[in-house]
Amino acid sequence: MAGTREILYSLPMATRLPTKSSIYNHFNRHLHQHNRLPRSNYLPCDSGKRLLVQPRKVVVVAATPIKAAAETAVQCQVKAVVTVKRGSMEYVKDMVFRWLDSDAHRAQTGVVLQLVSTQVDPNSENPKLSKEAKIYWSINPKTKGGNKISHEVEFVVDANFGVPGAIIVTNKYKKEFYLESIVAIEGLVHFACNSWVQPHGFHAHNRIFFSNKVYLPNDTPVGLKRLREKELQQLRGNSDDSRTTSDRIYDYDVYNDLGNPDKGDEFVRPILGNQSQPYPRRCRSKRPPTNSDVNVESPVSKYMPKYVPRDEAFGDLKAKAITEGKWKAMLRSLIPTLKQKAAINGEAIKSFSDITELYKESLPPFEEGGDECWEKGGLPKLRNKMIKECGQDVFKFDSPKLISRDIPSCCLRDDELGRLTLAGMNPLSIERLKVFPPVSNLDPSIYGPQDSALKEEQIICHLNGMSVQQAIEENKLFILDYHDVYLPFLDRINAHPTKKAYATRTIFVLTDMGSLKPIAIELSLPEKNRNGPPKCVVTPPVDATTCWLWQLGKAHVCSNDAGAHQLIHHWLRTHACLEPFIIAAHRQLSVMHPIYKLLHCHMRYTMDVNAQGRQLLLNAGGIIESHFFTAACSMEVSASVYQNWWRFDMESLPADLIRRGMAVPDATEPHGLKLLIEDYPYATDGLLIWSAIEQLVQAYVHYYYPEANIIESDSELNAWYHESINIGHADIRHASWWLKLSTPNNLISILTTIIWLASAHHAAVNFGMYPYGGHFPVRPPFMRRLVPNECDPDYTTFLADPEGYFLASLPCLDQMLHYISVLHILSTHSADEEYLGDRKDLSAWAGDPEIVEAFYKFSMEMKKIGKEIEKRNGDPNLRNRCGAGISPYELLLPSSGPGVTCRGVPNSVSI
C-alpha cells in the first residue's frame, strides 16, 4: 500500500460525511507529492484492480499548528476488513461462539482495534488515535475460502486524522488467534500482520501492527516513532525472564542444551560458544538447569516444551507434513516382515538382497489425498489408506536416485563417486589439488608427522603420460581432504564398540570427458594406533582382493563425506551460522525497515527447525550421534571447523569456488570467474541463481541507499549487523575478515550471501539427502570395521568371504531403517513451501514501483533459470548430469511440488 506523510482527508465544517471519491482524490494527490510513485490516474485496491481517479491541480500551503476548536470536531468513518486464520485442527462450533459473545460475556470478550495516525496531536504530542472498534467472532463472519474468515469493522476518526500508519490490537478472548491482515479504505491502507495475537490476560502488552509502508529510521513519521521503538523493545524482552510458548522474545544463548548430565556421564557434552569451543549463538529458551550441572539447560520434555518465538513456529501444513512423516517412519519399523530382517540384536546383514528388498520398484503417489485422510481419522485412517493404496509395498522405501535406474548395483562405481562429488548431495568439499603430496596443518607434536603416505608412483599410471606436477599445473588433479578435520577425534570415535573410521584423502583425476575419476585413497589413523600402520593407501583394483579393498576404502570415504555434509556444509554453514542474523533482525530491524522486509521471507521457519534439530538430531544420543561415525564428537567436529575454517566473507558462491580452487577470477566470463571443471552442475546452476539474487539485491539497495552516508546514518541497520557479529558470532567477532558495513556494495555482498545461504546453498545440500543418501551401501553414514591389512586377525576371514566382510562392515538394518526414514522426512517439501522468486508480500512495495519491478524481473529470471537447467540436463555432452542411468541434477531447479522431489529452492532454511 502506498501511504503518505500528510493528511488523509480534511473537511470544511459540515454535517455530511466525506464521499469515497473525495478520499481517493486526496490520497492520489498526496501520493504524487510525497512519495516516489510516478503520476498516474490509478490507485491500487484490495481486489487487485485499479480505481480511476481524475487528477486535479493542487496548491500546497505551508502547514501551521492546529489549535483546538471550541466546537466538536467533524468525524468520519473508516471501514476495514480484518482477516483471521483458524487452525486446521480447530473446529469451534457456532454455538460456542454465540455463548462466548452472549450479552452476559460480551463486555469481557472481543477483539479491540484502534487506528494510529502517522501524525501527532499538536497539543498532547501523542499520536492521533481513532475511537476503539470491536470485533466479536460470532457477528457476521465471512468465509474467504479455506480456513480464512473475514470481519468488517468501522473506525471513527477525526476529519484531520491523517494517514493510518499503525493499528493497536487487543485480544480479550481467552485463546490466541492468527491475524493475517487488515485492509482499510478500500485497499489503500494495508496491514500485513501474519502473527498470533495472545489473550490480553496472558500478555499485558497490546500488539502493534504497522502498515506496509517502508520507512528508514530517520524517515519514520513522527506519529510512529515511539511505537517503532516500543515494538522492538518488546521483541528484545528481558534476558532474565522465563519463556512460554506464546512469547515473542528474541535473545541469544550458547549451545548448552545438547547434553543431559542427569542421565549419566555418557550424556555429558561440552558447552559450545566460548573461547575454547567457539560456536554461533542460538535462540535463548530459558529452561531451568539440570540437577547435575547448573550451566547446562534441561532438555525439552513434556513439562518443559521447546521454545521459539510464537511467530517462528511451524504453520499447520508444515507441522502436519512432519508428523505424517514421523508416523510413516514408525509404521515401517513395526512391520513384522521387516522386523525379522532388521537384525534387532545388531547382527550383520546377510546378503545384498536384504537391502534391495527395503525399496519399492516404483513410487506410488502417496501424497494424494493426505489432508483429507489426516483430518478425518488421524493415525488409523492414515495406516489404512497406506495399506489399501500400496499393498505389500506400503512399508517399503521409495527408490533413491542412486538405485532407481541401477538397482542391481550395491557398491559405488568409480565414475559415480567422481560424479557425485560434483552433482550429489555434497558438492561443496571437492578442491583442486595444489600440492602433492598433501601436507597436514595439524600440530606434529600431537598428531605425528605432517607428511602424507601418498606417493607419485601410486597415481602416475592414471595421468595419461603427465607427471604429477604437470597434472597439478594443468588443473587435472582434485582432492577430497578430510585428514585434518577428523584425525584429532579418531581415538574417541574408534573407541566406540560399533563405529570405526579413518581420516581420508581421495585423489581424483579430471578425465578428457570432463568427469572425475578416483585414483588413490589415503586412510589415516592416529600415530599411536595399535591395529596397524597409521597411514595406508589403496588404489584402483588389479585383482579380486584389491577390488574388495578398494570398495571398502570408497565406503570409508563416503562415510567421511556424509559426516562433512551433515555437520559442516548443512548444519553449520546454513542452520547454525544464519540463526544469529535472524535473531538480530527481529531485535534491531523494525518491520517497517526495508532490509527487514527484504529478508523476512528468507527467515521463515529457521528458528523452529534449529530448535527441533537441537532437540532430536544434535543432542546427546540423538540421530546424528547414533547414525554418523562421528558419534559423541559430532558437534565438537562442527565447532572445530567453525573456529579454524569458517569465514563469512568466503560464504558467497564465487568466493567459495575460488577458495577451493574450483574457479579463478576472469572478468571475461559471464559471472566474473572461470570454472576449472566446466561440467560442475552445482556451480554452473548455482552461479545462475547467485547472479539473479545479486542483481535483485543491487536494485534494492541502490534504491534505498543511493549513498554511503545513508547507510552510516541508519541506526537500525548498523545495530543489526553489529549485534549479528558481536553477540551472535561473539567468539570470532574480532576476526579481520568481517565485511565493514560502510558502503552500498558491502551491504549488497552481505545481503546476497545471507539470501544465497538460506535458499540455494541449503537446497543443494538438503533436498538430495534421501535421493542420494537413501541407499546406504553406497553412502554409509558409518562403518563398523576398518579396512583389513595382512597383520589383522580378520584378514583370513576377509579373504575367505570378502562380500560377507563388506556387509558386516556396513551398519545393520535396524539402524538403517531409522536412518533412511529420517532422511526421507528431511528431504520432503511441505505443501506450504515458499520458493525462490515467489513473494507473497509485494503489497509492501506498492508505493515503490521500481522495487515491484525488480521483484518481477527476479521472478521471471527464476523461471528462465529453471528452463536452462532442464535444457542442460538433456545435453549429452554434460556427462555429470546426462547419460544412461545418470540422474539429472535438479536440486537447484527453483520450483517443486510437495514431497520428496529432489528439486526446489525454498526461500528459507525451512527443514
Active site residues: 570, 575, 762, 766, 911
Q: Are 822 and 325 in contact (CB under 8 A)?
A: no
Q: What contacts 521, CB < 8 A, 6 or more positions away?
A: 504, 505, 506, 507, 537, 538, 539, 550, 553, 554, 556, 557
Grid coordinates in use for 369? 489425498
Q: Where would I find the H helices in 705-847?
A: 708-712, 715-726, 744-756, 762-766, 769-773, 795-800, 802-809, 813-826
Q: In Å, how far from its chain's centre is CA 148?
A: 27
Please state, in angstroms and rounded to a whole number, the distance separating the CA atoms of residues 514 and 418.
10
Grid cell 577425534 in the structure block, residue: 489
Cα–Cα dist 900/469, whole Å: 44
CA distance 399 to 506: 28
Classify residue 717 as exposed, middle or buried by CB count within 10 Å of its CB (0-12, 13-18, 19+). buried
Nearest to 754 by CA among 873, 564, 582: 582
- Determine if residue 883 is left, alpha or beta; phi over 0 gives left, psi from -120 to 50 gives alpha, anything else beta: left
Locus of grid cell 534505498: 704
Residue 179 pairs with which residues in a beta bridge?
84, 195
* DSSP H or E segment with residue 730: none
Q: Cβ contacts of residue 30 below 8 Å, gap of 6+?
A: 4, 5, 6, 7, 163
State the DSSP string of 179-237: EEEEEETTTTEEEEEEEEE-BTTT--SPEEEE-S----GGG--TTTHHHHHHHHHHHH-
**Do the Cβ atoms of 447 and 440 come closer than 8 Å?**
yes
Grid cell for residue 250: 528474541
Q: What's at 403, amino acid-wise?
A: I
CA distance 817 to 384: 21
Sort residue 440 into left (φ over 0), alpha (ψ -120 to 50) or beta. beta
Q: Could you give the angle at which helices 577-588 and 225-236 cross, rounded to 10 degrees?
A: 140
Angstrom distances, CA of residue 907 to CA of 763, 837, 910: 9, 8, 8
CB atoms within 10 A of CB 793: 8
